[in-house]
């Protein structure tokens, strides 16, 4: 410890005797503020720096307070980088874009050779819609009529929905045809098919797994009985050649001793 103290004192004495320039540098190092640790945004806002402390340099970046987990925050794209697309189409193409619902007053199709007027139109779609043809004055009035206007004319809801759906189909180019109802006046037809007679041959030759097992078991039992009978006859006859009677389901067996 004594050696360390002498060394430190001698080094300090040599440094102080070096001259005024070195002493000035030493004073600057002692009086300059130490490097403080970097504070978070919340601590910086809670404890703002006083005016007496040294100001921060101008090239330090501004730290935004954390509003989310670090690494997940992304700056929004500027407006000039967002892609924008515009589609131009004529008024006749509007009903054909993505089956969008377009008001009937915006597009009135022209009558064709097969559909010259609205009476023919209502007659073609069926379901007794031809009875409402007198409620429309002209072709344009028929196509501009909305569901509320047709309700005022006295057309029932089911017929209104059916006519409006066929209007959209005709605008899309679908041919007119009547679509009949599955039910009539709340009743439906139930047809019961008669049961066909089972052929006799199929019933005769029918063989199930259980029956096949019974047959195999019966054959095994018959073979055992024949074997026992052979032993008994062999004992009685003294070991001569014998023929057993034919067993049902088995061929004639010729028994030879040895």
Say what the pLDDT of residue 4 is.
Answer: 45
Beta strands in the chain (DSSP E): 242-243, 254-255
How many residues can be counted in the chain?
258
- In sequence order, the 6+-apart residues with CB closer than 8 A to the CB of 233 are 242, 244
Specify which of 13-17, 81-85, 197-201, 244-248 reaches the highest per-range mean pLDDT. Answer: 197-201
The winner for highest mean pLDDT among 74-83, 156-165, 170-179, 224-233 is 156-165
- At 217, is the pLDDT very low, low, confident or very high (cuts 50, 70, 90)? confident
| Cβ neighbours, 10 Å, residue 17 | 9
* Residue of 178, 184, 182 whose CA lies nearest to 120: 178
- For residues 157-178, give the mean pLDDT: 85
Q: Is the dihedral of CA 46, 49, 55, 56 positive or negative?
A: negative
Which pTM was predicted? 0.32
Kindly state the percentage of the chain with pLDDT values over 90. Answer: 1
More reliable by pLDDT, 12 or 211: 211
The yes-or-no verdict on residue 2 having pLDDT over 80 is no
Residue 230 pLDDT class (50, 70, 90 cuts): low
Residue 14: half-sphere exposure toward Cβ, Cα within 13 Å:
6
pLDDT, residue 82, reads 54
The pLDDT value given to residue 247: 53
What pLDDT is attached to residue 227?
73
**Mean local confidence (pLDDT), 191-214:** 62
**For residue 105, what pLDDT is reported?**
46
**Looking at residues 189-211, what average pLDDT do you find?**
61
């Amino acid at each position: 410890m004594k050696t360390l103290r002498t060394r430190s004192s001698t080094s300090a004495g040599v440094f102080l005797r070096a001259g005024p320039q070195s002493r000035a540098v030493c004073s600057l190092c002692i009086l300059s503020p130490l490097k403080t640790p970097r504070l978070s945004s919340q601590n910086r806002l809670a404890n703002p720096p006083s005016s007496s402390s040294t100001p921060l340099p101008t090239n330090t970046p501004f730290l935004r307070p954390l509003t989310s987990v670090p690494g997940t925050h992304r700056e929004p794209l500027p407006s000039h980088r967002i892609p924008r697309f515009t589609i131009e189409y004529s008024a006749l193409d509007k009903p054909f874009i993505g089956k969008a619902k377009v008001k009937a007053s915006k597009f009135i199709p022209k009558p064709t050779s097969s559909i010259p007027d609205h009476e023919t139109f209502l007659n073609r779609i069926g379901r007794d819609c031809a009875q409402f043809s007198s409620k429309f004055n002209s072709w344009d009035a028929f196509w501009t009529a909305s569901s509320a206007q047709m309700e005022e004319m006295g057309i029932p809801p089911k017929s209104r929905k059916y006519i409006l759906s066929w209007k959209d189909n005709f605008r899309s180019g679908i041919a007119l045809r009547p679509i009949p109802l599955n039910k009539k006046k709340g009743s439906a037809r139930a047809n019961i098919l008669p049961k066909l007679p089972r052929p006799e041959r199929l019933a005769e030759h029918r063989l199930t797994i259980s029956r096949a097992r019974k047959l195999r078991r019966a054959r095994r039992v018959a073979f055992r009985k024949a074997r026992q009978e052979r032993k008994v006859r062999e004992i009685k006859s003294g070991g001569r050649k014998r023929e057993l009677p034919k067993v049902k389901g088995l061929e004639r067996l010729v028994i030879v001793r040895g």
